[in-house]
Amino acid sequence: MFNGASNFSHDVDAIFLFTLAVSIFFLVLITGLMIYFVIKYNRKRNPKATNVHSNMGLEIAWTIIPTILVLIMFWYGWMGYADMSEAPEDALTIEVTAQMLKWGFKYENEKTADSLYVPVNTAIKLNLTSLDVNHAFYIPAFRIKKDVYPNQSRMVWFKSDAIGKYDIACAEYCGLNHSYMYNKINVLSEKDFNEWLATGVNTDSLAIKDSTTKVMSN
């Protein structure tokens, strides 16, 4: 149903759909019951108020069932968060610097870039920091978002499974023209990425130019 492009996309979408389905179910159920009771116990049909006694079975049911559903949602959310919080030991590490209206990227060989380039099917670890105010590193297609603070290093990781270009946005209001703080992540084949990393070849001439571009906006 949704088009994701990272190892987290499927799980995040599944949790979202489950939560949405549960919410819609209870919305319809509660609204329907309200309408039913309004009609059944209106003044014309019941001129004399009816004394309704407690029902232990119903009280237990509407306490236990929502509790179980909330615990299920919490469990899956927590497991997803735990997976996102621990990067694989062999992940490619990239330093990411946030500054009003731009992102900067520094690789292990000291190469720097204004846009993010990564190899496909490879674990990528991003160490995030800000040079000025609070920001939030957000890649909608990858279902990842991490707040970025001054004087503090934060980490997020992912593994992209599809070559293409994807949006990077700042999801935290950071001042005037905040909405212009966009960038791109370019997912390349391993060969093309190694070539770019070693020689700095303009990636517009690489295979990504002819690949299907997938862009998901904030």
Please state the domain extents for the chain. Answer: 9-85, 92-210
Asked whether the beta carbons of 114 and 105 are under 8 A apart, the reply is yes
CATH topology classification for 9-85: Helix Hairpins (1.10.287)
| pLDDT given for residue 204 in this prediction | 45
pLDDT of residue 211: 38
Tens-place pLDDT, residues 174-199: 888 888 898 999 999 999 999 999 88
Domain 92-210 has CATH 3.90.1010.10: no
- Reply yes or no on whether the pLDDT at 1 is more than 60: no
Cα 40 to Cα 34: distance, rounded to the nearest angstrom: 10
Say whether 92-210 and 9-85 share the same fold: no
Find the helix packing angle between 56-85 and 9-40, rounded to 10°.
Answer: 160
Q: What is the pLDDT of residues 31-44, one digit of tens each?
A: 999 999 888 888 78
- Mean pLDDT comparison of 24-38, 68-82, 189-203, highest-scoring range: 24-38
Per-residue pLDDT tens digits for 10-21? 888 988 898 999
In whole angstroms, what is the distance from residue 96 CA to residue 137 CA?
A: 9
User: What average pLDDT does the segment 113-121 reach?
Assistant: 94
Let me know: does 129 contact 153? Beta carbons within 8 Å. Answer: yes
The DSSP secondary structure of 53-84, one letter per residue, reads: PP-HHHHHHHHHHHHHHHHHHHHHHHHHHHHH
pLDDT at residue 187, as a whole number:
95
CA distance 9 to 74: 18
The predicted structure's pLDDT at residue 218 = 38
Average pLDDT for 192-208: 67
Return phi, psi of residue 198, to 5°.
-85, -35
CB 210 within 8 A of CB 192: no
